[in-house]
Amino acid sequence: DIVMTQSPDSLAVSLGERATINCKSSQSLLYDSNKKNYFSWYQQKPGQPPKLLIYWASTRASGVPDRFSGSGSGTDFTLTISSLRAEDVAVYYCQQYYSFPLTFGGGTKVEIK
Amino acid sequence: QVQLVESGGGVVQPGGSLRLSCAASGFTFTNYGMHWVRQAPGKGLEWVAVISYDENNKYYTDSVKGRFAISRDNSKNTVFLQMNSLRSEDTAVYYCAKGLRTSSVYDAFDFWGQGTMVTVSS
């Protein structure tokens, strides 16, 4: 199984400041034939289902504000919130869809400092 | 708009069975793989199973193999999860999720239902 390791477990950031979350996979998620990373990010607010933010490591899902960006390739990935807003308080999860079982990282809780 | 509505959760004794349903609307159901993802209370997300758009491919996480079965009825835009031999560690909110791409099972999940709670307890 591919293990997804997120860091940090929690993060407190001032409003308007940058938040950075990292995710490392135990093997490469880059598929040679199409050069795509089979990797995504989700946001989950309390009492709600997760919401897709980023797929293919860097493509924003429909309706996602451009303050959210994804980067990285292979085994190392980053989610950046460029200017934190109060509504961004949530738990963020990374996920690989390269091989079964599909796996998630343990989550990163983002709070306001 | 895409809607996924789960039902069928509840309280069941260890060793018991439940059948979850997920009614889909707002998209061409027959084109997409459908997944079940669960979340134990206060814990992270765990992918459970997927069924391909044409029902020909099904995959499961190891801990549910031989106990859970995913199926779909494309005439009714519904996906199911039959859960047998339930254990306390199966206690979770179970989400139905739509695959992002047509005709794929290796996918991110672009829409999720609100979830249905399954509690396995004596």
- B interface with A, Cβ–Cβ below 8 Å: 35, 37, 44-47, 50, 59-62, 95, 100, 106-115
Amino acid A69: pLDDT: 98
Which of B44, B108, B113 faces A55 most closely, judged by CB atoms?
Answer: B108
In B15-67, beta strands by DSSP E: 18-25, 32-39, 45-51, 58-60
Amino acid A66: pLDDT: 96
Q: What SS3 state is found at B31?
A: helix
Which of B44, B59, B110 faces A93 most closely, judged by CB atoms?
Answer: B44
| Residues of B with Cβ-Cβ distance to A61 under 8 angstroms | 110
Measured in angstroms, the CA of A25 and the nearest CA of chain B are apart by 16
Which of A49, A93, A101 faces B62 most closely, judged by CB atoms?
Answer: A101
Amino acid A90: pLDDT: 98
* Chain B contact probe: residue of A100, A103, A109 with most B CBs at under 10 A: A100
Region class of A74: left (phi > 0), else alpha (psi between -120 and 50), else beta: left
Amino acid A109: pLDDT: 98
Which of A49, A95, A101 faces B61 most closely, judged by CB atoms?
Answer: A101
Amino acid B115: pLDDT: 98
| Residues of B with Cβ-Cβ distance to A98 under 8 angstroms | 106
Give the Cα separation of B116 and A28 in Å (integer).
34
Measured in angstroms, the CA of B47 and the nearest CA of chain A are apart by 6
Other Cβ atoms closer than 10 A to B86: 22
pLDDT per position in chain B (122 positions), as tens? 999 999 999 999 999 999 999 999 999 999 999 999 999 999 999 999 999 999 999 999 999 999 999 999 999 999 999 999 999 999 999 999 999 998 899 999 999 999 999 999 99
pLDDT in tens, A55-111: 999 999 999 999 999 999 999 999 999 999 999 999 999 999 999 999 999 999 999
Amino acid A48: pLDDT: 97
Give the Cα separation of B78 and B8 in Å (integer).
13
**φ/ψ of residue A106, rounded to 5:** -75, -10
Q: Transcribe A58-100 into DSSP letters.
A: TEEPTT--TTEEEEEETTEEEEEESS--GGG-EEEEEEE-SSS
Amino acid B79: pLDDT: 98
Q: Do B47 and A104 make contact, defined as CB atoms within 8 angstroms?
A: yes
Q: Do B109 and A52 make contact, defined as CB atoms within 8 angstroms?
A: yes
Which one has a higher pLDDT value, B102 or A20? A20
